[in-house]
Amino acid sequence: RPVLLEEIQEADLALLKNIFDLEKLSGEAMGEDALSYLNGGADDLKTVRANHEAYGNIQIRPRRLVDVRNISTKIELFGKELDNPIILCPVGFQKVFHPDGEIASAKAAVNRNHQMIVSSVSNFSVNEIAKESGADLWFQLYPTSDRAITKKLLDRAMAAGCKVCFLTVDTPVLGNRENHGTNLAKMIESGEIEMGNFRDILPEGMGINDPGMTWEMIGWLRENCDMKIVLKGIVTREDARLAVQHNVDGIVVSNHGGRQLESNRATIDCLPEVAEEVNGAFPVLIDGGIRRGTDIFKALALGASAVCIGRPFCWGLGALGQQGVELALEILKTELIRDMQLAGTPSVSDITSNYVLRS
């Protein structure tokens, strides 16, 4: 049962100083099953851990005597001005964490001026989320092996106002998640939760992945939707080069939060080769293991235009619903602003590779 905010004493709330405190609280609030769905990953969770730990191998080189009274976290991304570079990752089945699911997350994103990406496998449909929250959403696509169904899914996202489509490319099949506690299939079967976007269009037994998908998909997407196309899950120079050749609109350097291939390569270690190869052709984003303002700072310095966060806002959601998501976002943005002040970088564009060093 989620903890209600009213049940938490002011003093306890003040104790929630960082994302790790929120993680702890969510552990107490959510059931074991929900928690292992959220925190789980592939094989032995080495990649899950590596994603965050790798930030510890990067140091910041701050500059002094810079006027940092006014800090701007604003960026422009995919034709839109954003208040800050901290974006909510697509995370499926958010009702597992809290009954208000994606609607609570979207309302928090609106209140706190963050961009949110809705998963193909959200419990509420992208249309319901947009309507209930008033959010201007972006959409993440899991293609089935049937393009007619994928087309319907894209139409639903566009009808809900989505202008950017994140095609997840690291999931031809599901990763080996031995710790996937929550029996999602059972919850879906019992009607407790549903995949809102697939309502009435997914035949029984059909999966949401397409192991046959290749680079040909980009051309098909161009013909079948007018959203910008961003590839989520690129981690190598070679694929970055192909992405440039296929004229996509962006890339997210991602290993799905360590839930797909247990590769032990942290996303922040993949970012430099990808950013170098893309060489400004389009924005490069990153996700995985971002838990601190300094992590965000380092990612921006190493070539990311923005970062996406997954588990951190879900810990907030599981612990406290919408207010918990808002708290997670507030913590990260506050930390980022302070770190920008301490490093002497008043705006996001000031944060360059000169400000970091890898040991």
- Which residues are catalytic, by number? 256
Whether 118 and 153 have beta carbons less than 8 Å apart is answered as no
Question: In which residue are the tokens 């599981």 written?
Answer: 318
Question: Should residue 125 be labelled a site residue for ligand FNR when binding is judged by CB under 6 A?
Answer: no
Per CB under 6 A, 316 contacts ligand FNR? no
56 annotated binding-site participant: no
Q: Is 168 a binder of ligand FNR (CB under 6 A)?
A: yes
Task: Single out the residue of 257, 303, 318, 324 in contact with ligand FNR (rule: CB under 6 A).
Answer: 257
Q: Which is nearer to ligand FNR, 51 or 115 (CB)?
A: 51
Cβ partners under 8 Å of residue 126, min gap 6:
118, 137, 139, 156, 157, 160, 162, 196, 197
207 labeled binding residue: no
Our separate counts of H helices and E strands in the chain read: 14, 12
Using CB under 6 A, which residues numbered 216 to 235 contact ligand FNR? 232
Residue 325 binds ligand FNR, judged by CB under 6 A? no
CB 119 to ligand FNR: min, Å: 3
Between 310 and 316, whose beta carbon lies closer to ligand FNR? 310
In the complex with ligand FNR, which residue's Cβ is closer, 8 or 234? 234
Distance in Å, CB of 111 to ligand FNR, minimum: 21
Q: What are phi and psi of 289, to 5 degrees?
A: 75, 10
8, 38, 104, 340: residue in contact with ligand FNR (rule CB under 6 A): 38
Q: What share of residues in the chain are helix, strand, coil (percent, to 5)?
A: 45, 15, 40
CB distance 66 to 344 below 8 Å = yes
Q: Which stretch binds ligand FNR (CB under 6 A): 128-136, 304-312, 328-336, 348-356?
A: 304-312
CA 162 – CA 155 distance, rounded (Å): 10
Q: Could you give the residue ranges of the DSSP H alpha helices within 178-321? A: 184-189, 216-224, 237-245, 267-278, 293-301, 311-320
Question: Rg (Cα) of the chain, in Å, rounded?
Answer: 19
> Taking a C-beta distance cutoff of 8 angstroms, is the pair 168, 235 a contact?
no
Q: Which of 90, 196, 250, 283 lies at the binding interface for ligand FNR (CB under 6 A)?
A: 90
Interacting residue with ligand FNR among 8, 35, 82, 91 (CB under 6 A): 91
Q: Which of 43, 131, 140, 50 is nearest to 93 (CA)?
A: 140
| Complex with ligand FNR: residue 49 or 342, whichever CB lies closer | 49
Number of residues engaging ligand FNR in binding (CB under 6 A): 23
Site for ligand FNR in 259-298 (CB under 6 A): 259, 287-290
Nearer to ligand FNR by Cβ, of 8 and 35: the residue is: 35
Q: Is 119 annotated as a binding residue?
A: yes
| SS3 state of residue 354 | helix
Q: How far is the CB of 308 from ligand FNR (least distance, A)?
A: 6
170 to each of 139, 167, 174, 194, how far by Cα in Å? 16, 9, 9, 23
Can you read off the two tokens belonging to residue 311?
Answer: 């588990």
- 293 has binding-site annotation: no
92 binds ligand FNR (CB under 6 A): yes
Q: Does 250 bind ligand FNR (CB under 6 A)?
A: no
Contact between residue 290 and residue 273 where contact means Cβ atoms under 8 Å apart = no
Nearer to ligand FNR, 295 or 350 (CB): 295
Q: Is 289 a known ligand-binding residue?
A: yes
Binding site for ligand FNR (CB under 6 A): 37-38, 51, 89-92, 119, 121, 140, 168, 232, 254, 256-257, 259, 287-290, 309-311
Binding residues for glyoxylate: 37, 142, 177, 256, 259
